[in-house]
Every structure is written in C-alpha cells, then in structure tokens.
Structure 1
Amino acid sequence: MITAMARAATTSDAFNAIAEPQRRDILTLLRSGERPVTDVAEELGMSPSRASKHLRVLREVGLVRLRGAGKQHFYGLDARGLRPVHEWLGGFEEFWAGSFDRLDAYVQDLKRTQED
C-alpha cells in the first residue's frame, strides 16, 4: 500500500507562502492598494475561489490584511510580514555588490585593452 506523504504547510511562514508564484503576483498587485477578491482574481486571471485561497494563506502568515466594508472585503498588503525575507536577502547584498565590483573592474580592463 502506498501512502501519500503529507504536504508541508504553506502557511507556516512568509518564505513558504511566497514560494508560490501566484501569491507573489498577488503581493505585487496589492502594492498599488487594497483590492476586493474579485478584482485580484480578474487582474491575475484566476477564479475568485482560487484567489481567496491564496489570500487566506497570505493573511495567515501576516502578508496581507483584511478590511471589511459592508458586504465587501478588501485585501491590502502588510509588508511588515516580509521583514524576515528582507533581512535574509540583505545578507546577500555584500555578495552582489562584490560581484558588480568585479564585473566593473573586468569591463574597465577590457576597455583599456581595446584602447592599447
């Protein structure tokens, strides 16, 4: 008998939540302001139920906030939840800065070689 391996929870942290490309698309969309689920779904070409599921995951990890206005619910970006991701990525800034410095030195050497 083959048993299915349990899926890792996607709601455990921001890293897992943003691993899904459609969730990253939702966060990018919400940078411009709050939107109801129907707008998110329409903008990104997905069903409202699928958009709702992704928004629920993002809300559970603190990346979006929900605001009710009458019968409509608006989702907005809560970038504070991205702090752990930002801090982790910040550790790579030195690597990239060094890479760009090396690339610049290489280009300058090429220019000098061509001038000679």
Structure 2
Amino acid sequence: MANERSELDHVFHALSDPTRRAVVARLVGGPATVKDLAEPFAMALPSFLKHISVLESAQLISCNKKGRVRTCSVDRERLVAAERWFEEQNRVWQSRYANLDNLLAKLESK
C-alpha cells in the first residue's frame, strides 16, 4: 500500500507541470521523438530533457535510443493507476453526497 502511494506521488508530481502533461497527452496518440515532442515548447533542449527525465522517473513514459534519435512512448498502466485513484475518490465523494442528500431530505420532512 505504501509503495502504491509512493508510485502515485511520483505520477502526480510528474503530471503537475503543464509541459509534462502536454507531452503525455501527445504520447497517448503514439510514440514520438524527443525532437518532435520538444518542438511546440519555447525552451532549450536541455530544459526539455529535464521534463522527459521526470516523466521517465515516474515511469509514465519510456524512451528508446537508436543512434542519435530518442523515441518516447507512454506507459498506459501508470496512467490507469492514476485513473483508478480518481475513480476511487469519486466513489467516496458520491457516497458522501448521497448521505448528505438523505440527511437533508430527513431534515426537510420534519
């Protein structure tokens, strides 16, 4: 359980940055080279590579190097883990709202 929390911490940290979220969103559509991923961003390549490193550390993406070309792809399992966490939180809050609705209905009927 603690390990799962630690993994989610890394995932959410990685996704907390808009540049990294944009990279993951792009990679959901399929693999891309680092050069192609960096193109839309107004930053130097070394700065962009730091974002790639954070995403790799969180295991949200993996990169393979052939010659001088690094191609990145998304790890869908890590995204599914984050999605499951959100679904769990949604279930908890839906239950709380249902309880509140029931309480309010009881108070109104009195």
Q: Which has the larger radius of gyration?
A: 1
- The structure carrying a bigger helix percent of its residues is 2
Asked if these proteins are the same fold (TM beyond 0.5), I'd say yes
Give the TM interval when normalised to the shorter protein.
0.5 to 0.7
Structure 2 CA distance for aligned equivalents of residues 89 and 67 of structure 1: 30
Q: Which amino acid aligns with 1:20?
A: D
Unaligned 5+ runs, structure 1 = 1-11, 100-116
Q: Which amino acid aligns with 1:56?
A: S
Q: Which amino acid aligns with 2:70?
A: H
Using the TM superposition, name which of 87-96 and 68-77 deviates more. 87-96
RMSD, matched Cα:
2.2
Is 1:32 aligned with 2:62? no
Unaligned 5+ runs, structure 2 = 1-8, 98-110
**Cα distance per residue 1:67-101 (max 9 Å; x no partner):** 122221101111212233112100244457xx8xx
- Pick from 57, 61, 65: which aligns with 1:60? 57
The residue number in structure 2 matching 1:106 is none
Structure 1 CA distance for aligned equivalents of residues 40 and 25 of structure 2: 11
Length, aligned pairs only: 87
Using the TM superposition, name which of 34-43 and 77-86 deviates more. 77-86
Structure 2 CA distance for aligned equivalents of residues 27 and 53 of structure 1: 14
The residue number in structure 1 matching 2:12 is 15
Task: Check the 8 A contact 1:64/1:76 in 2, yes or no.
Answer: yes
Q: Which amino acid aligns with 1:89?
A: F
Structure 1 CA distance for aligned equivalents of residues 45 and 30 of structure 2: 18
Q: Which amino acid aligns with 1:59?
A: E
Identity of aligned residues (%): 24
Higher relative contact order (CA 8 A, sep 6+): 2
TM-score (norm 1): 0.64
Structure 2 CA distance for aligned equivalents of residues 51 and 45 of structure 1: 9
Structure 1 CA distance for aligned equivalents of residues 37 and 65 of structure 2: 16
